[in-house]
Structure 1
C-alpha cells in the first residue's frame, strides 16, 4: 500500500463517521419537527374548538339536548316490517270522523285574589222589568305597592297614689330604633337578591312613586342588621345540611371591592352546598377558590359529596370519612362541545347519555322516595350503559388527538369514572349536579345587575340571604312572606328551637 493511500484511509473513515453523525442529527431534527408540527396542529385544533365554544356562548343560549338522528338509508323497524310483508305498493282510501274540539278558553283566575265588583246597568229604564240573570266578565287590575306610615299609639295611665305610670311595652322590631318594619325589610332584600334590583334602583323607585328618598347607606345598614339577626339561623341551616350524609357542592365567582386597593375588585367565590333530599341549600363566601374554604366547612362531615372534576374536591375527598360522587352532566357537556369537531364519535356518546337519562326518568317515576329500589334499578339498567361508554372510550381514545375536544372529553370521563361508580352505591345520589347549578343561577343573574359586593363582609351577608332564598325556592315557599314572618319572630325566639324557623321545617 502506497503512502498516499495510507493517508487517505483514515480521512475516508472520518468522513463516513461525520456523515453518519449528520444523518443521525438530521433524523433527530426531523423527528423533533414532526413532533412540533403535531403539537402545533393539536394546539390549533384546541384553540379552534375553544373559539367555537366562545362564539356559541356569545351567540345565545347553548342547548345540550341531544336527539339521535336516523340516517337517510336506515329504515325504521316498522318500515322494515312493512317492506317484508308487501313487496309492491298499494293504495287505499281512508275516511274517518272526529269530534271538533272546543277551545279550552282562558285559564281560570286564581280564587284567592280579592274581588272588586263593578255593576253596569243598562242605559234604558229598567223600572218594572224582571231580572232573569246576569253576564259576568272577569279581568285583572293591578294596584301598585304602597308605603304606609304605621303609627303605634300607647296610652299612658297614672297609677293611684303616685306609684308610677302604666303603659304597654313597645313590640320588638327586627332592628332596634329603626323605622323599617319587617315587611319593608323583606321587600327590600327580596327586591335585591331575587328580583336583582340594586339599592340605587330601589331608591329611585321609592322617590318616584312615594316621594321618599332613603340614603343608600341606610339600606346597607338595614341589610347588615337583618343578616346579623339571621346569622344564628344560618348556622342552624349549615348544621342541618352537614348532618344529611349526602350533599352536592359547587362554586361560583363573585367580584368584591378591595379596600386595600381602592378602585379595584377582588375575585371571591361563593361555595354552595346543597342537600337534595331535604331541599336545603347553603352559600358560603370565601376569598379564594382553594381548598381551605371547603376543607374547613367539611372538616367534620361524614358522607357523600357530589361534585365536578375540580382538583380541590379530590384533595378534600382524600378524607376517608368522605366519598366523592361524580356529575354525569359535566361529562356529557364535554362530548356536546366536541360535536362540531368530531360529530360521529360525539353523537355516539351522546346517544348513550340520552338513554341513561330516559332510564333515570322512568326509574324515578317507579320508585318515588324508595331509594333502595332506585339503587337496584339503576345498577340493573343504567350502570351497564355507563360501562359501555367506558369500554368504547378505551377502544377509541388512541385514535383522537389528546388536546382535541373529543380527546379532552374522553380523558375527563375516564378520570372521573371511579366517582361515577359511586353514584350507584346509594339511591339518594342524583346522576348529576343540575339541582345545585339551578340554585346558583340567581347569583349569576345578580352579578349582571349589581356587578360586585361592597366588601368581603357584604359578600358573606349575600351568602346568608342567598341560602334562605334558595331554600325557599326549593321548598316552593314565598320568600317575602317567609322573611317577613321570620324577621318578626326571631328577635324573641328560643335559640334552642331555631330550626323551627327554617323554610319548609318539618318534625320528621
Structure 2
C-alpha cells in the first residue's frame, strides 16, 4: 500500500509540474504578445517611412516642375494646372505622412514604453514674422532640486518654443464723438462738423468695407456666405446690407478707375483678351463676356506702371472691343477674334492699330498634334512629325526671347534682327512648303493655316522691340476669374458684371504693382472722402506703393 506521505509527495510534484507548465505557457503568451507588438510597431514604422518617402518624392517633383517653368517659361495653361495638381498631391502626401508617423509612435510605445519617440519632423527653418504679437506662457520651474532636494535654485537660462496660434477676427465699434458747446454771451450752440465716411451714411469703416469687397471679388466669396459668417460671429449684416455697401464702395472708387483707364489707353502697346462669365437671365443663364486690357511695359524696359482694366458685356459681339478701344492707337496684342478686324483698318481714327498675333496661340494648335504626354496616355494618338518639328522651331525662337526679356526696346530689336528674324523667315518658308504637301482638311494643315494666313501679324515683332511674342499678360489677368466662376456661379445682372469688372481692375492692377489689394482698398476708401480731386493720382496703386516704401524707409 502507498503511504499517505507518498501520496502527498506525488501530488506536490504534479502541482509543481502544472505550475511550471502554466508559467511556461504564460511566458510564451507574453513573448508572443511582445513579438506581435514589435511586429506591429515595425509595420507602422515601415508605413511611416514609406509615407515620408512619398512626400519627399512629391516635393521634389513639385520643385522640378517649378524650376522647369522658371527656366523655360510657361508653354501653356497645362503647365500651371500640372503645378496646381502637384501641390495638391504634395498636401495629401504630407498629411498622410504625419498621420502614419503618429501611428508609428503610438505602436512603438505599446511595444516598448521606455523607447524614445520615433517621429522626427524637420524643425522650422524661418522664425515667425517679428510683427506678430507674442504671448508669453511660462511653465513654472521646480521649487526644489529634484536631485538633492535643495531649495537654493538659480535661473541660468530658458528655452523658448514658438507655436503659431489663430485668433478669430476681431471687430470694434468706433464712436465718433462731436461735443456741443453753448456760448455764455450769445447763447449760440456750436459743434464741429461730422467727418466724412468711406461711404455716405455708412455704418462700416474702410477696413471692414475693404475686407467685404476683397473677399467677394478676390477670394470669390459671395455675399450670402459672408453674411452667414458674420452671423456666426455674432454680427447681423444682412445680404441686402452687404450688397448696399459693395455698391457704395464701387461708386466711391469710380474716380480712381477712370484714372487707371486713362493711364491704360495712353499706352503704345496693349494686351487684350476675354473670358466667359455666366449671366443670370430669365429662368436661365446666358454666356456673357469679361474683357481685359493690360498695359505692361516691363518686358521692354518701359518705365510706365503696369495696369489692367476690365469691362463686362452681355455677349461677344465685335462692337464691344471696338467701343472699348475707340480712343486707343498703337500696338494691340490679341487673338484672331474677328471683332478686332475693324480696328486694323488703315484709315482708322484717331490713329492706326497694328495687329500683333500671339505665338502661344499658334504654337498651342500645333502642340496639340505633337503632344508626347498624350501619346503615352492614349496609344491610338499618333504624333504628327510636321507639328512636332514646327513646335521645335518655335521653341528655339522662344529660347532667344527669354534671354532679352526686360531689356530695352532697342536692345531687343537688335537681337531680333540678328538672331530671331532669320529663324522666323526660315520657319515661314518651311511651313509654306509643308502646307503645300497636305490636304486642306488635315488638322495639321488647319494649324499651319492659322499662322500662315496671319503671318505679317506674327512676324511684326521682329521689326519692333516693344512687341511681345505672346498675349500671356492678358491671359494671366483672367486666371482669377476662371477660378472664381466655380464659386460665384454667375453674375446676377449686367450692373453686377460691371461692378465686378471694376473691382477686378483694381485687384489685378494692385497685383501687377506688387501691392496688397486689401490694404490698398482700405487706405483708398479711408482717404478718398477728404482727398483733393486734383491729387487723386496719389492714390493710384503704383504711386501708393512708392509712398508706402518712402514712409517705411523714413
The verdict on how the C-alpha distance between 1:389 and 1:123 changes in structure 2, with shifts beyond 3 A counting, is farther
Cα offset, 1:384, TM superposition: 2.5
Identify the residue that residue 51 of structure 1 maps to in structure 2: none
* Greater RCO (Cα-Cα under 8 Å, separation 6 or more): 1
Pairs within 5 Å for 1:287-436 = 287-318=314-345, 319=348, 321-339=352-370, 340-364=381-405, 368-436=406-474
The 8 Å contact of residues 270 and 332 in structure 2, kept in 1 or not, is answered as yes
Identify the residue that residue 477 of structure 2 maps to in structure 1: 439
> Within 2, Cα distance between the matches of 1:399 and 1:104?
63
> Within 1, Cα distance between the matches of 2:502 and 2:522?
16
Identify the residue that residue 189 of structure 2 maps to in structure 1: 165
> Within 1, Cα distance between the matches of 2:412 and 2:140?
63
Identify the residue that residue 133 of structure 1 maps to in structure 2: 157
* 2:231 corresponds to 1:215: no
| SS of equivalent residue, structure 2 residue 78 | coil
| SS of equivalent residue, structure 1 residue 412 | helix
Which shifted more, 417-426 or 121-130?
121-130
* 2:268 corresponds to 1:268: no
Residues 326-369 of structure 1: per-residue CA shift (max 9 Å, x gap): 111111111111124443222212222222222222222xxx44
Identify the residue that residue 190 of structure 1 maps to in structure 2: 214
Identify the residue that residue 248 of structure 2 maps to in structure 1: 225
Identify the residue that residue 83 of structure 1 maps to in structure 2: none
Residues 441-467 of structure 1: per-residue CA shift (max 9 Å, x gap): 111122111111111111111111000
The verdict on how the C-alpha distance between 1:381 and 1:178 changes in structure 2, with shifts beyond 3 A counting, is same
RMSD: 2.4
The 8 Å contact of residues 305 and 322 in structure 1, kept in 2 or not, is answered as yes
Identify the residue that residue 310 of structure 2 maps to in structure 1: 283
The 8 Å contact of residues 216 and 223 in structure 2, kept in 1 or not, is answered as yes
* 2:543 corresponds to 1:505: yes
Cα offset, 1:241, TM superposition: 0.6
Cα offset, 1:65, TM superposition: 11
The verdict on how the C-alpha distance between 1:468 and 1:442 changes in structure 2, with shifts beyond 3 A counting, is same
The 8 Å contact of residues 352 and 389 in structure 1, kept in 2 or not, is answered as yes
The 8 Å contact of residues 222 and 488 in structure 2, kept in 1 or not, is answered as yes
The 8 Å contact of residues 311 and 498 in structure 2, kept in 1 or not, is answered as yes
The 8 Å contact of residues 291 and 316 in structure 1, kept in 2 or not, is answered as no
Identify the residue that residue 453 of structure 1 maps to in structure 2: 491
Identify the residue that residue 257 of structure 1 maps to in structure 2: 280
Pairs within 5 Å for 1:35-54 = none
* 2:141 corresponds to 1:122: yes
From 241, 244, 256, the counterpart of 2:264: 241
The 8 Å contact of residues 272 and 436 in structure 1, kept in 2 or not, is answered as yes
The verdict on how the C-alpha distance between 1:109 and 1:357 changes in structure 2, with shifts beyond 3 A counting, is farther
Cα offset, 1:165, TM superposition: 2.3
Residues 314-334 of structure 1: per-residue CA shift (max 9 Å, x gap): 221223521111111111111
Residues 73-120 of structure 1: per-residue CA shift (max 9 Å, x gap): xxxxxxxxxxxxxxxxxxxxxxxxxxxxxx896233333333223333
The verdict on how the C-alpha distance between 1:257 and 1:427 changes in structure 2, with shifts beyond 3 A counting, is same
The verdict on how the C-alpha distance between 1:115 and 1:374 changes in structure 2, with shifts beyond 3 A counting, is farther
The verdict on how the C-alpha distance between 1:125 and 1:297 changes in structure 2, with shifts beyond 3 A counting, is same
The verdict on how the C-alpha distance between 1:351 and 1:452 changes in structure 2, with shifts beyond 3 A counting, is same
Residues 411-435 of structure 1: per-residue CA shift (max 9 Å, x gap): 1111232112222333232211111
| SS of equivalent residue, structure 1 residue 145 | coil
Cα offset, 1:272, TM superposition: 0.8
The 8 Å contact of residues 64 and 336 in structure 1, kept in 2 or not, is answered as no
Cα offset, 1:297, TM superposition: 2.1
> Within 2, Cα distance between the matches of 1:204 and 1:222?
16
The verdict on how the C-alpha distance between 1:64 and 1:182 changes in structure 2, with shifts beyond 3 A counting, is closer
Cα offset, 1:370, TM superposition: 2.1
Identify the residue that residue 176 of structure 2 maps to in structure 1: 152
> Within 2, Cα distance between the matches of 1:478 and 1:344?
47
Residues 137-190 of structure 1: per-residue CA shift (max 9 Å, x gap): 222111221222222222222222244223233221122112111111110111
The 8 Å contact of residues 253 and 269 in structure 1, kept in 2 or not, is answered as yes
Which portions of structure 1, spanning 4 or more consecutive aligned residues, are displaced by more than 6 angstroms?
none
The 8 Å contact of residues 64 and 333 in structure 1, kept in 2 or not, is answered as no
The 8 Å contact of residues 342 and 406 in structure 1, kept in 2 or not, is answered as no
> Within 2, Cα distance between the matches of 1:145 and 1:64?
33
Cα offset, 1:405, TM superposition: 2.9
> Within 1, Cα distance between the matches of 2:81 and 2:490?
33
Identify the residue that residue 13 of structure 1 maps to in structure 2: none
Structure 2: gaps of 5 or more residues: 1-76, 83-121, 146-150, 298-304, 371-380, 548-554
Cα offset, 1:129, TM superposition: 3.2
* 2:511 corresponds to 1:488: no
Question: How many aligned residue pairs are there?
Answer: 405
* 2:482 corresponds to 1:463: no
The 8 Å contact of residues 369 and 388 in structure 2, kept in 1 or not, is answered as no
> Within 1, Cα distance between the matches of 2:460 and 2:130?
48
Identify the residue that residue 62 of structure 1 maps to in structure 2: 78
The 8 Å contact of residues 175 and 226 in structure 1, kept in 2 or not, is answered as yes
Structure 1: gaps of 5 or more residues: 1-60, 67-102
